[in-house]
Amino acid sequence: QNVPHAIELILAIIKLAKSYHTIINNSFSMDIDTCADLKSITLLSTLIESFLTPFIDTTFSLFEQIQYLSHYTHLTFAFFHAHWCSFMSYQLYYDTQTTVNNDMFYCTKQQILDPNALFYFWNVGDDPLEILFERTCMIRGHNSACSYAQAIDHLEASKDIDDIF
pLDDT digits (tens, 9 = 90+) for 115-128: 888 777 766 766 67
Q: Residue length, the chain?
A: 165
Q: What percent of the chain has pLDDT over 70?
A: 87
33 CB neighbour count, 10 Å cutoff: 8
* Angle at alpha carbon of residue 70, lines to 65 and 76, rounded to 5°: 125
Burial class of residue 76, CB neighbours in 10 A (0-12, 13-18, 19+): buried
Instruction: Look at residue 61 and tell me whether its pLDDT is greater than 90.
Output: no
Q: Looking at residues 4-21, what average pLDDT do you find?
A: 86
Every domain of the chain and the residues it spans: 1-56, 62-124, 127-165
Q: Mean pLDDT throughout 10-36?
A: 79
Full-model pTM: 0.71
pLDDT at 142: 62
Beta-carbon contacts of residue 11 (< 8 Å; ≥ 6 apart): 52
Q: Is residue 14 scored above 80 in pLDDT? A: yes
